[in-house]
A and B are shown apart, each in its own frame.
Chain A
């Protein structure tokens, strides 16, 4: 188990006041909230922050943590001292990532674990018969899957109360058919795959939030897909028919003569095949060959001679 430096996580000094800690938490929580932040590690940072705040906001836990001394380094191998007193009352933290069930081993070893099913999740369990809860998970798919509708296997993790009420993490794997035309941020609803019900209550539903794996050349905007296509200067100038990639395979694309760099060619209905299919936009990207041989240099010189062309005419120079 690794030591965690909660002060470093929150970016405050060890002698920070409770007010300063609260302000630092508010500020960082807004910065790293997974719904708001685009930082790649926002979710992990937000969880870590929730854990740090759970300790530092409570003067009792904070004093105990401070009592470990200052000789520890973040990430150092850690074991609680033998005289450690585990009698901490547990209030339970925030929600999204700061679910107390997900705090680190380091936190558990110092302050114990919260009972699972606490907070709002337990509210419906009093009735004798109750439908199981609806559950949520994310599924990462390739853009191509949304074009063809493929079957993907998903591994889900959930926490269950094990023997003695200790929560344990269980996994299960489902084969899910990805509906053709699904888009980023949409949810696939799988009826009856959520939590089991109580008594005669049926299982809840499982919602899978779709996320596209970032693609090397495709960008997605709503239903539309964009791809950059490098073309030679003479192809752009004279027109040509070239091979262009699309998520559903290669197509022969006609480039009209006198195309300029950045020109967008629209392939209607070749975007995501949703109920209202999107378009595919091919953006021309003129690539210049290098003048790295005598013949190439001559060709460029000839080229210059043939035109009365001022590249900077538009900016008045």
Chain B
């Protein structure tokens, strides 16, 4: 296959939030964080694992988005883990209110 053909090939992906379940290891790799940090975020409720112990934990795809956002808030604004959990919940609520407001304003 020439490089031109490679470019033309259509890549088919999966929707992370709907079809994908991540193990602790996969989530660490995708977020580039240590298992300790992910466990800390899970204990604070930033992400909600399914399963009994970290070895068998499974995360819904949406967890990756929350973890990455949490990490950016920590590094850029110095928000601690409990604060990050609060900010994420408030941001979610704000997003919902903004969409509802958009319906009335337009």
* Residues of chain A whose beta carbon lies under 8 Å from any beta carbon of chain B: 26, 29-30, 33, 35-36, 38, 94-96, 98, 120-121, 123-124, 131, 133-134, 136, 151, 173-177, 179, 181-183, 185-191, 193, 204-205, 207-209, 219, 221-222, 226, 228, 274-275
Query: When the two chains form their complex, are residues B15 and A221 in contact, meaning their CB atoms are under 8 A apart?
Result: no
Query: When the two chains form their complex, are residues A177 and B11 in contact, meaning their CB atoms are under 8 A apart?
Result: yes
A45 → chain B closest CB, angstroms: 13
9 more contacts with CB within 8 A, not counting A136-B68, A222-B99, are A33-B73, A94-B75, A98-B76, A151-B10, A177-B12, A186-B18, A188-B13, A188-B16, A204-B29
- Residues in B with CB closer than 8 Å to A177 are 10-13
Among B8, B10, B14, B32, which residue has its beta carbon within 8 angstroms of that of A121? B32
- Residues in B with CB closer than 8 Å to A95 are 72, 75-76
**Contact residues, B69-106 vs A (CB, 8 A):** 69, 72-73, 75-77, 87, 91, 98-100, 102-103, 106
Question: Binding site of B, secondary structure by majority: helix, strand, loop or mixed?
Answer: helix
Q: Is B64 positioned at the interface, with any CB of A under 8 Å from its CB?
A: yes
- Residues in B with CB closer than 8 Å to A204 are 29
Among B10, B17, B99, B103, which residue has its beta carbon within 8 angstroms of that of A186? B17
Task: Determine the distance from Cα of A136 to Cα of B9 in the docked complex, in whole angstroms.
Answer: 20
B57 → chain A closest CB, angstroms: 19
Q: How many residues of B contact A (CB 8 A)?
A: 34
Among B10, B32, B98, B99, which residue has its beta carbon within 8 angstroms of that of A176? B10
Among A124, A131, A179, A274, which residue has its beta carbon within 8 angstroms of that of B13? A179
